[in-house]
Homo-oligomer: A and B are copies of this chain.
Amino acid sequence: MKDQFYNYIQQLQDTITTKLEEVDGKATFHQDIWDRPEGGGGRTRIIENGNVFEKGGVNISAVHGKLPDTMKNLFGVMEADFFACGLSLVLHPKNPFVPTVHANWRYFEMYDEQGNIINQWFGGGQDLTPYYLFEEDASHFHNICKAACDKHNATFYPNFKQRCDDYFWNAHRNEARGIGGLFFDYCKPAHDMTMQNWYDFVTEVGNSFLDAYVPIVEKRKAISYTQEHRNWQEIRRGRYVEFNLVHDKGTLFGLKTNGRIESILMSLPPHVQWVYNHQPEKGSDEEKLLTVLQKPKSWV
């Protein structure tokens, strides 16, 4: 399974970066291959200062070794070897009318002393963070998510949509990071799902990513915008930073377990503002976004 999934994310990284370069039309991905001293490494691909993408990363990694202390506590085990691989991407477009997107698909294995697998699961998801709300874009993104889920189990979309809203909740602001999508974790054999069924589901979602995101980019990337639109985008990007540094378990786990800092923090936006007590005008498009973030809704 680990070879099967790692092959998949290698190919998916190629597919996604090739397509995004085509969409951007100017910038190309810069690649950094890195090694993890304790075992494994990754292939980080970064795009900066494009026509469309101001900053973004589409990264894969496959790491293994002794389970770090923080994970031992999390999983309640003493000592174990582990393997983990995944693809993580974040794209911050330049145009405030094009949403930021995040996605991640990952696989994890734990072994006993004889090297037998004692635990394994998939996790991941994809979610959208607009600066200006186009309801049809939110619906499009969620409909693609739902279609990928529905091929496997009718309960997946409502369940994983709710978990996404719960997870990307910026608690200290009392608002969502964005308009959500899918979030799932600890996907293990249970009921009628084998690991191979979960593999089929996770790769179905991975394969849906470009269909979920690219049409929105194409539709909004040429809308003209003012400095005021940019200011709002940069202020909202501040909330993105706050979520990732204060609440995001993946980021904090990476920072506290000596992960590759630059690959982890590629998720942070290029230009960001913090303005004291910023409040959008009543009835403005900016306020309309906040209303939806403060009370996540159904998009399908």
Q: Which residues of A contact B (CB under 8 A)?
A: 30, 32, 46, 48, 55, 57, 172-173, 234, 238, 241-242, 245-246, 252, 255-256, 261-262, 265-266, 268-277
Number of copies of this chain in the oligomer? 2
Q: How far is the CA of A272 from the CA of B238 in the complex (A)?
A: 9
Q: How far is the CA of A252 from the CA of B252 in the complex (A)?
A: 13
Q: Verify A273–B271 contact, CB threshold 8 A.
A: yes
Q: Verify A246–B255 contact, CB threshold 8 A.
A: yes
Chain B residues closer than 8 Å to A265, beta-carbon distance: 242, 274
Q: Verify A276–B245 contact, CB threshold 8 A.
A: no
Q: Verify B32–A274 contact, CB threshold 8 A.
A: no
Q: Verify B268–A271 contact, CB threshold 8 A.
A: no
Chain B residues closer than 8 Å to A241, beta-carbon distance: 241, 245, 272
Q: Verify A276–B172 contact, CB threshold 8 A.
A: no
Q: Verify B270–A172 contact, CB threshold 8 A.
A: no
Q: Verify A256–B46 contact, CB threshold 8 A.
A: no
Q: Given A32-B277, A57-B276, output 6 extra A-B contacts at Cβ < 8 Å.
A: A48-B275, A48-B276, A246-B246, A246-B255, A266-B276, A271-B271
A273 to chain B, nearest CB (A): 6
Q: Verify A274–B172 contact, CB threshold 8 A.
A: no
Q: Verify B276–A274 contact, CB threshold 8 A.
A: no
Q: Verify A172–B255 contact, CB threshold 8 A.
A: yes
Identify A273's interface contact among B30, B173, B272, CB under 8 A.
B272
Chain B residues closer than 8 Å to A57, beta-carbon distance: 276
Q: How far is the CA of A275 from the CA of B245 in the complex (A)?
A: 16
Chain B residues closer than 8 Å to A275, beta-carbon distance: 48, 270
Q: How far is the CA of A276 from the CA of B262 in the complex (A)?
A: 6
